[in-house]
Amino acid sequence: MKAFKLENEPRIKNGFKTPDHFFDDFSAKVLQQINEREVKVIPIYKRKQVIAMIAAVLVIALMIPIVNNYNKSKELDEATLETYLSYQSNLNQYDLIRELDTKDIESINKNIVLEQETLEDVLSSNPNIENLLSE
């Protein structure tokens, strides 16, 4: 590989040039333009629109926690209910079955779809088939 030497390579000239004598009176021009502009200062307390916007933002900010607490649902989700019931040691499957009515049983039957292969796999892999059949 050929050695690369930066000093021997041709250099590209910069395309940006400043006009002649540009920086001689640059600061004087800038100061002159700054002094020419006088900004009209409008106090914020005299602007009714600004005060109304600030009041609206404060009202909305204060209402967010109230609305969040108001909209909380009082119903239990399924995961919370299942966790609660699984940690209750005095409940068993017969207590739960006794509380079911016909609508609940019909909805359970509609939701459960077992394939023949899945059922055979469970029965063949479980050594206590008699316990499963008796339940």
Q: How confident is the model at residue 25 (pLDDT cuts 50, 70, 90)?
A: confident
N- to C-terminal Cα distance for the chain?
Answer: 83
pTM for this predicted structure: 0.25
pLDDT of 59 strictly over 90: yes
pLDDT at 57: 93
b vs e for 35-70, b when ≥16 Cβ sit within 10 Å of the residue's Cβ?
eeeeeeeeeeeeeeeeeeeeeeeeeeeeeeeeeeee
Extract the tokens encoding 117.
């292969």
pLDDT in tens, 95-123: 878 888 888 878 877 766 778 888 788 77
Q: How confident is the model at residue 45 (pLDDT cuts 50, 70, 90)?
A: low
Q: How confident is the model at residue 61 (pLDDT cuts 50, 70, 90)?
A: very high
pLDDT in tens, 69-97: 777 666 777 888 778 877 876 777 788 78
Q: How confident is the model at residue 48 (pLDDT cuts 50, 70, 90)?
A: confident
pLDDT at 114: 75
